């Protein structure tokens, strides 16, 4: 097959707003899995593009790996800090470890899974740059399978630790726990304040970060990172069918066939009461609560508007399907009253951190 070097820019390039590599092209292009585009590039003889797309899947996945790695230990620390005996925490972790074992009995190790995935991607990239399309296609599939396994079990490990919090401390701890786990991310969100940055730039960053990360979570019916993106007059809507983390845990996996994690043998709990941090709904996956806190409640408290309006699926309806939607408004003043009310807030007359601080100080 003749070698085609691809376009001058290529499918992955430095994004000045993001400050790092990101996929190029239209929103329709960006909605597609990087794995699928890499296979197409191989078939077309664009071997360098294929290698770059394969390597970019690592960047898409990196945040998920790093968060899971950190959260597992931090949730353990939270349990012990709030009085759960270390022996009880260890007992719960041991039960979870049994559920996460490989079919051959090997214990799950997130760090080892991540390293194996990176090594597999490099094998793919080497084969791609040599122009061996057939071998590279096989290697890419193997790398994807390694990340799928590591990602999903890592997510289940986080979910299992969260379930221990609900079991031993009660679901009232879920919102505050997520605030603690995501404190570094909350600080990062200061850049989205309309008082300090033009919203069009923040909008593009918020949109790009979401698309890149949700591909990395292996969203979509093929679990390769496909996203539905609709560009409307006043908003861009991202839909995940399912999202690869919380949404996946509430339905039979479309690829692996594994049962919802709310069912046996995992039996993860969902919210049994309506809380502001659960969109005032029962049946919210405890893992999914972080999307409510990070995208809605925290930015409303800081700036007076959500950065993304999230409409999650709920259990048990999600057992048979249900898309999660993330809505990013092109002007944050257009966010409807209902989005605020869902998380226990009222839409303010003025937005930005200064107006929000003044309003809250006036209430105190």
> So what's the pLDDT on residue 308?
99
Residue 3: which pLDDT band, with cuts at 50, 70 and 90?
A: very low
Do the domain assignments include residue 3?
Answer: no
Give kind and range of the element (H or E) at residue 23: strand 20-23
Tens of pLDDT, residue by residue over 57-89, are 999 999 999 999 999 999 999 999 999 999 999
Q: What DSSP designation does 285 have? A: B
Q: How far apart are CA 86 and CA 89, in angstroms?
A: 5
Tens of pLDDT, residue by residue over 250-287, are 999 989 999 999 999 999 999 999 999 999 999 999 99
Q: How far apart are CA 153 and CA 64, in angstroms?
A: 12
Q: How far apart are CA 70 and CA 355, in angstroms?
A: 34
User: Mean pLDDT throughout 315-332?
Assistant: 96
Per the CB < 8 A criterion, the answer to whether 190 and 196 are in contact is: yes
Residue 9: which pLDDT band, with cuts at 50, 70 and 90?
A: confident
- Taking all residues of the chain, what is their mean pLDDT, rounded to a whole number? 96
Helix (H, G, I), strand (E, B) or coil at 56: helix
Q: CA of 269: how far to CAs of 78, 146, 162, 342, in Å?
A: 18, 27, 9, 21
Residue 4: which pLDDT band, with cuts at 50, 70 and 90?
A: very low
Angle at 363 between CA 359 and CA 364, to 5 degrees: 120
Do the domain assignments include residue 310?
Answer: yes
Sign of CA dihedral 37, 41, 42, 43: positive
Do the domain assignments include residue 123?
Answer: yes
Tens of pLDDT, residue by residue over 25-36, are 999 999 999 999
Do the domain assignments include residue 4?
Answer: no
Helix (H, G, I), strand (E, B) or coil at 4: coil
Q: How far apart are CA 249 and CA 55, in angstroms?
A: 27
Do the domain assignments include residue 284?
Answer: yes
Per the CB < 8 A criterion, the answer to whether 299 and 307 are in contact is: yes
Per the CB < 8 A criterion, the answer to whether 156 and 266 are in contact is: yes
Domain residues for 314? Answer: 12-363
First to last CA, the chain: 71
> So what's the pLDDT on residue 301?
98
Bridge partners, 13 (sequence order): 22
pLDDT above 70: percentage of residues in the chain:
97
Do the domain assignments include residue 264?
Answer: yes
Do the domain assignments include residue 294?
Answer: yes
Give kind and range of the element (H or E) at residue 127: helix 110-129
Tens of pLDDT, residue by residue over 175-229, are 999 999 999 999 999 999 999 999 999 999 999 999 999 999 999 999 999 999 9
> So what's the pLDDT on residue 5?
37
- Number of independent structural domains in the chain: 1
Do the domain assignments include residue 40?
Answer: yes
């Amino acid at each position: 097959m003749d070698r085609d070097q691809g376009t001058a820019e290529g499918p992955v390039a430095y994004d000045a707003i993001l400050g790092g590599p990101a996929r190029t092209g239209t929103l329709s292009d960006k909605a597609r899995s990087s794995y699928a585009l890499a296979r197409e590039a191989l078939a077309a003889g664009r071997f360098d593009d294929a290698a770059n797309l394969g390597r970019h899947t690592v960047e898409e996945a990196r945040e998920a790996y790093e968060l899971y790695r950190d959260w597992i230990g931090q949730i353990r620390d939270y349990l012990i800090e709030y009085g759960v005996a270390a022996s009880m925490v260890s007992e719960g972790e041991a039960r979870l470890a049994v559920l996460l074992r490989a079919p051959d009995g090997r214990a799950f190790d997130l760090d080892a899974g991540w390293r194996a995935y990176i090594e597999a991607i490099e094998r793919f990239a080497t084969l791609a740059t040599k122009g061996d399309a057939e071998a590279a296609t096989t290697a890419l599939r193997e790398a994807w399978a390694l990340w799928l396994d590591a990602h999903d079990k890592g997510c289940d490990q986080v979910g299992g630790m969260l379930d221990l919090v609900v079991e031993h401390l009660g679901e009232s701890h879920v919102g505050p726990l997520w605030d603690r786990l995501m404190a570094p991310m909350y600080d990062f969100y200061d850049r989205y304040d309309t008082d300090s940055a033009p919203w069009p730039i923040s909008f593009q960053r918020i949109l790009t970060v979401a698309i890149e990360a949700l591909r990395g979570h292996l969203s979509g019916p093929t679990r390769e990172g496909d996203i539905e993106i609709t560009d409307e007059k006043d908003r861009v809507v991202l839909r995940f069918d399912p999202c690869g983390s919380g949404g996946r845990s509430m339905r039979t996996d479309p690829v692996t066939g594994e049962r919802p994690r709310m069912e046996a043998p995992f039996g993860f709990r969902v919210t049994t009461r309506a809380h502001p941090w659960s969109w005032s709904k029962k049946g919210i996956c405890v893992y999914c609560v972080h999307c409510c806190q990070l995208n809605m409640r925290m930015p409303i408290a800081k700036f007076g508007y959500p950065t993304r309006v999230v409409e999650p699926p709920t259990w048990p309806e999600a057992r048979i399907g249900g898309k999660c939607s993330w809505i990013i408004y092109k002007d944050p003043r257009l966010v409807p009253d209902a989005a605020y009310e869902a998380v226990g807030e009222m839409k303010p007359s003025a937005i930005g951190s200064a107006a929000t601080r003044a309003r809250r100080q006036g209430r105190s």
